[in-house]
């Protein structure tokens, strides 16, 4: 029995040391990968996604957009639909959840609504976008977009603020956008 204890004692000590080192390493890697850095990156990514979508929503219609959105409607319907799909996939899909992209962009033409109202009289440009994360829920933001609309005929410009909220998921993708008082901006573009 004493021989067995002498034989197993070094292995038991070695096993305990390996277990202690293994636990210490997993705690270190757990802390570095599960810390606050990924949240900061996701928050930054969410903010960039929101800004990009708002920029794409309130800028134009430029020549490319006019060709796709308005002149393309006179073409073969399949060709027009294909160009419109490519435009939306390039400018909106990478920044949104699949569900919001389908429901908020494809099914309702939500991304081009302001451009349709502005055409042919105005050109829209974004001067500034401010975002503020809402305290109520992580991933929700209040936004303010300062949009200048320029009359093509007389080159006169006016500026309006479009406010709203946007929600993002854990991946930083947009899950909803809600505009507050958007009808005021639409009315200004109709006049």
Render pLDDT for 70-124 as a digit per residue (tens, 0 to 9): 876 667 888 888 989 999 999 999 999 999 999 999 888 888 999 999 999 999 9
Q: What is the largest CA-CA distance in the chain?
A: 103
Of 4-8, 10-14, 173-177, the range with the highest mean pLDDT is 173-177
Q: What angle do CA 58, 63, 67 make, to 5 degrees?
A: 100
Has residue 24 been placed in a domain? no
172: left (phi over 0), alpha (psi -120 to 50) or beta: left
Q: Which domain holds residue 146?
A: 42-190
d(CA 142, CA 139): 10
Q: Is residue 142 part of a domain?
A: yes
Considering the entire predicted model, what is its pTM?
0.77
d(CA 125, CA 168): 24
Which tokens belong to 68? 């796709």
Asked if residue 73 is part of any domain, the answer here is yes
Token representation of residue 60: 């134009």
Categorize the per-residue pLDDT at 3 as very low, low, confident or very high, splitting at 50, 70 and 90: low
- Domain of residue 69, CATH code: 3.10.450
122-175 pLDDT, tens digit per residue, is 999 999 999 999 998 899 999 999 999 999 999 999 999 999 999 999 999 999
Element (H, E) at 133: strand 122-133
Dihedrals phi, psi of 13, to nearest 5 degrees: -65, -45
Residue 66: inside a domain: yes
Quick one: which H or E segment has residue 65?
Answer: helix 63-66
Q: Classify residue 145: in a domain, yes or no.
A: yes
Give the count of domains, the chain: 1
Q: Which two tokens stand for residue 129?
A: 């976008």
23 located within any domain? no
User: Is 28 a member of any domain?
Assistant: no
């Amino acid at each position: 029995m004493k021989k067995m204890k002498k034989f197993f004692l070094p292995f038991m000590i070695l096993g305990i040391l390996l277990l202690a080192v293994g636990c210490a390493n997993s705690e270190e890697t757990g802390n570095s990968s599960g810390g606050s850095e990924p949240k900061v990156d996701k928050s930054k990514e969410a903010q960039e996604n929101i800004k990009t979508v708002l920029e794409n929503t309130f800028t134009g219609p430029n020549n490319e957009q006019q060709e796709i959105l308005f002149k393309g409607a006179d073409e073969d319907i399949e060709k027009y639909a294909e160009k419109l799909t490519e435009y939306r996939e390039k400018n909106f899909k990478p920044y949104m959840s699949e569900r919001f992209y389908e429901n908020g962009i494809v099914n309702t033409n939500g991304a081009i609504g302001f451009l349709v109202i502005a055409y042919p009289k105005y050109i829209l440009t974004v001067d500034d976008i401010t975002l503020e994360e809402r305290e109520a829920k992580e991933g929700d933001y209040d936004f303010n977009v300062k949009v200048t609309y320029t009359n093509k005929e007389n080159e006169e410009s006016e500026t309006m603020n479009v406010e709203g909220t946007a929600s993002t998921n854990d991946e930083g993708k947009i899950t909803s956008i809600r505009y507050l008082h958007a009808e005021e901006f639409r009315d200004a573009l109709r006049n």
